[in-house]
Amino acid sequence: MTAATSTTSKPSIEDRRAEVQAKLEAELKRIVDSGEYAAWFTKMAAFHRYSPTNAAWILAQAPEATKVASYRTWQQVGRQVRKGETGIMVFHPKPYWVDPTSGERVRPPRDPAKRARLEQRIGFGVGHVFDVAQTDGEPLPELGKPAPADAPRALAEHLDGWCVEQGVTVESRDLPPGLYGYYQRDGDRIVLATANTPGERVATLAHELAHRQDPELLRAEVIGDRRYYAHNRADCEAVAEAAAHAISARFNHDITGHSAGYIASWVEGDVTRLSELQQRVGKVTGTLLPPDQLDLALDAARQQAATARTSALAAGRSRS
List of residues contacting Zn ion (CB under 5 A) = 237, 240
Q: Please state the closest distance from residue 130 (CB atom) to Zn ion, in A.
A: 21
Nearer to Zn ion, 81 or 190 (CB): 190
Nearer to Zn ion, 88 or 179 (CB): 179
DSSP state of 69: E
d(CA 299, CA 15): 20
| SS3 state at 90 | strand
Q: Please state the closest distance from residue 211 (CB atom) to Zn ion, in A.
A: 5
| Rounded alpha-carbon distances, angstroms, from residue 69 to 2, 129, 217 | 64, 5, 26
Beta strands 189-193 and 169-173 are parallel
Nearer to Zn ion, 79 or 207 (CB): 207
| Rounded alpha-carbon distances, angstroms, from residue 5 to 2, 9, 11 | 6, 6, 11
Nearer to Zn ion, 70 or 228 (CB): 228
Q: Please state the closest distance from residue 31 (CB atom) to Zn ion, in A.
A: 18
Q: What crossing angle do the helices spanning 13-33 and 36-43 adopt, rounded to 10°?
A: 60
Nearer to Zn ion, 65 or 81 (CB): 65
Q: Please state the closest distance from residue 106 (CB atom) to Zn ion, in A.
A: 48
CB within 8 Å of 193: residues ≥ 6 apart: 172, 173, 174, 175, 179, 180, 181, 200, 204
Beta strands 119-131 and 68-69 are antiparallel
Nearer to Zn ion, 240 or 246 (CB): 240
Cross-strand pairs, 137: 79
Q: Please state the closest distance from residue 265 (CB atom) to Zn ion, in A.
A: 12
Q: Please state the closest distance from residue 245 (CB atom) to Zn ion, in A.
A: 13
Q: What crossing angle do the helices spanning 198-213 and 233-250 adopt, rounded to 10°?
A: 120
Q: Please state the closest distance from residue 195 (CB atom) to Zn ion, in A.
A: 17
Nearer to Zn ion, 81 or 179 (CB): 179
**Identity (one letter) of the amino acid at 1?**
M
